[in-house]
């Protein structure tokens, strides 16, 4: 059995559910925070004891939406139940709004060394479209205060926002670069079924960006960030040398991790489980000593190999087919042959020595590449 050295904790509280968000979260239910923390501690207690953690990631939701006493209690639970390696990457997601000095100090005292800020945009009109509750000045102030406490500050940005122009996106990238973060993530806006953005688009109240513009915006991100000294190491991720997100690389390399909290996933040796997405149901079941897992799946060896290949192709350096064959004990070249060769002929994949990777052109079509390889 693989040693699990990475943990994800889902903190589902938010001030507001943005119209594009389909993550597991609750807004306006801060009254559940104490029960959540009690249930989280119980869930961790009942899990198998883990070795020292190499990476720990608190995502959401907005973990820093917790009131300061509750945030402090969360940090206490973590340090009571886990052993963090001396060089553990301890990441926390946060939003600029409401991120006080006292909360930043709480995180710093607890050993957090990587802060990921959901900036999304600097443009006031686009922030309003995205239903964000911060403004440009909030971002600059928050980044300044965070960088005084954490060496590694990452910014998340969204492109292809309804109404966004290429000029606005370039200005956003330029402004982000000037803030000198160690890491940047750029995500194309997607309209997920069940979100208010989806419904508004169906009613003609929102219009998604056309494919050509979205491609140009992504191309701008690759060009401008690389020129500024960032290395693109994954489809959506750019880092200064030495500041790649180690936790996310656990996912992309197919290593094992343990998840805690509502909606959190766990993956160990090809077995995936998913906690109940309903916060109240997860709390009720966990406090009652019941299993809060809603779904379990054991991947067949061939499916596991295909998934590892697809995940690995998110990384710019690609995947070693020989290493993947040894890891899965399958001939991955033979298994994916027809689809792989088709994608290479299309110019979306290339094979250099033993490394299979997306071409620059292929990065625009990752979802299509993944679909082809997963289906055969």
CATH class name, domain 318-375:
mainly alpha
Other C-beta atoms closer than 10 Å to the C-beta of 116 total: 22
Q: What contacts 138, CB < 8 A, 6 or more positions away?
A: 96, 97
**Which tens digits make up the pLDDT trace of 154-164?**
999 999 999 99
CB within 8 Å of 277: residues ≥ 6 apart: 24, 262, 263, 294
Alpha-carbon span 373 to 376, nearest angstrom:
5
- Quote the pTM value: 0.95
Closest CA to 366 of 301, 315, 299, 302: 315
pLDDT the model gives residue 289: 94
Q: List all residues 6 or more positions away from 81 whose beta carbon is below 8 Å from its beta carbon.
A: 41, 44, 45
Where are the chain's structural domains?
6-252, 318-375
**Kind and range of the H or E run holding 339:** helix 337-345
Per residue in 350-364, pLDDT tens?
A: 998 889 999 999 999
- Is 191 in contact with 20 (CB distance < 8 Å)? yes
Low-confidence ranges of the chain (pLDDT < 70): 1-2, 376
DSSP-derived secondary structure for 1-54: -----EEEEEE-EES---TT--SS-EES-GGGHHHHHHHHHHHHHHSPPP--EE
Q: Residue 330 and residue 307: Cα distance in Å, rounded?
A: 13
Specify the fold of 6-252.
TIM Barrel (3.20.20)
């Amino acid at each position: 059995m693989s040693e699990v050295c990475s943990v994800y904790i889902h903190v589902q509280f938010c001030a507001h559910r943005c119209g594009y968000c389909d993550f597991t979260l609750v807004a306006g239910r801060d009254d559940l925070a104490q029960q959540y923390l009690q249930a989280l501690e119980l869930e961790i207690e009942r899990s198998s004891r883990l070795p020292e953690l190499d990476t720990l990631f608190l995502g959401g939701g907005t973990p820093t939406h917790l009131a300061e006493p509750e945030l402090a209690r969360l940090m206490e639970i973590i340090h009571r139940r886990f052993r963090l390696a001396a060089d553990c990457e301890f990441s926390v997601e946060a939003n600029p709004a409401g991120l006080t000095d006292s909360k930043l100090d709480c995180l710093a005292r607890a050993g957090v060394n990587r802060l990921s800020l959901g900036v999304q945009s600097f443009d006031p009109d686009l922030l309003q479209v995205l239903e964000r509750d911060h403004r440009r000045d909030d971002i600059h102030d928050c980044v300044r205060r965070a960088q005084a406490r954490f060496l590694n500050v990452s910014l998340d940005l969204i492109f292809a926002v309804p109404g966004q122009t290429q000029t606005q996106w370039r200005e956003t990238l330029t402004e982000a670069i000037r803030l000198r973060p160690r890491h940047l993530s750029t995500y194309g806006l997607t309209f997920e079924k069940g979100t208010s953005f989806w419904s508004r688009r169906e009613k003609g109240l929102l219009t998604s960006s056309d494919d050509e513009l979205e491609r140009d915006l992504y191309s701008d991100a690759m060009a401008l960030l690389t020129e500024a000294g960032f290395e693109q190491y994954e489809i959506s991720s750019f880092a200064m040398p030495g500041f790649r997100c180690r936790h996310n690389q656990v996912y992309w390399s197919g290593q094992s991790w343990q998840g805690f909290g509502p909606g959190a996933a766990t993956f160990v040796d090809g077995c995936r489980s998913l906690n109940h997405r309903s916060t109240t149901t997860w709390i009720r079941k966990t406090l009652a000593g019941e299993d809060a897992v809603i779904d379990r799946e054991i991947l067949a060896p061939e499916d596991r190999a295909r998934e590892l290949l697809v995940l690995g192709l998110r990384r710019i350096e690609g995947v070693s087919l020989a290493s993947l064959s040894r890891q899965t004990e399958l001939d991955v070249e033979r298994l994916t042959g027809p689809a792989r060769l088709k994608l290479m002929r299309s110019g979306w994949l290339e094979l250099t020595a033993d490394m299979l990777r997306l071409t620059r052109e292929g990065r625009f079509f990752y979802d299509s590449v993944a679909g082809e390889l997963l289906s055969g």
